[in-house]
Amino acid sequence: MKIFIDTGNLNEIKEAAELGVLDGVTTNPSLIAKEGNVDFFTRLKEICALVPGPVSAEVVSTDKPGMLKEAAELRKIAPNITIKLPTIRTGLQACKVLADDGAKVNMTLCFQPLQALLVAKAGATFVSPFLGRLDDIGQDGMQLIRDIRKIYDNYGFKTQILAASIRSPLHLVEAALAGADVATVPFAVIQRMLDHPLTESGLKKFIEDWHKSHPGK
């Protein structure tokens, strides 16, 4: 499973990259806005320089020509830019054009399996089902991943399932078990991925016992 970080924050990206297991980055307009007064293009250039893997940059136009115009500008930033488009009619049309032109496309805000079927047919590189936001309204976000996995496997679609809107380590475990190809994870969850109280207490005991049997060392 590939692990992306879901953030617009450079320090978080640097720290996650230091773990040596970071495969890419996703951003969205809300995450960039959280960074304050940063220039969108400058920030994306900085992120692309830090991480060689795919960096998703989202358009804000909702019409096809507007999306394509924004995508053309974004693609100039770096070769690892992935164009993030909303899963709406015009987004699907723009996805087809961009995919045919060799661009990587991440179709975002996917909430039901038929959206995932259509974006795969349009040549999307990634589809982003939003788990947490479905859970927030009392639906089973993980079932969406399972359904998309089944549909993609039935027909051999190559579009990668990018589990998004991850809120907890448990989401990540379940998305991995459900066969998501990628998970985009907030920094706070990445930090907790290695934690277990038995690892901490076990290590403490090993070190204490070592010092008991090697006094003074």
Q: Which residues bind ligand E4P (CB under 6 A)?
A: 6, 26, 28, 108, 128, 130, 132-133, 164-165, 184
Q: Which is nearer to ligand E4P, 132 or 179 (CB)?
A: 132
Shortest distance, position 31 Cβ to ligand E4P, whole Å:
6
- Give the C-alpha separation, 171 to 181, whole Å: 14
Q: Which is nearer to ligand E4P, 6 or 12 (CB)?
A: 6
Q: Which is nearer to ligand E4P, 115 or 184 (CB)?
A: 184
User: Is 84 marked active-site?
Assistant: yes
107 φ, ψ (degrees, to nearest 5):
-90, 115
Nearest one of 129, 155, 158 to 144, comparing CA atoms: 129
Shortest distance, position 185 Cβ to ligand E4P, whole Å:
8
Nearest one of 198, 145, 147, 191 to 171, comparing CA atoms: 145
Q: Which is nearer to ligand E4P, 164 or 180 (CB)?
A: 164
Tokens read off for 215:
């006094």
Catalytic residue among 84, 96, 104, 158: 84
Q: How many other C-beta atoms are found inside a 10 Å radius of the C-beta of residue 40? A: 18
User: Distances in Å between the alpha carbon of 205 and those of 135, 194, 202, 213, 214?
Assistant: 40, 18, 5, 12, 14
Catalytic residue numbers?
84
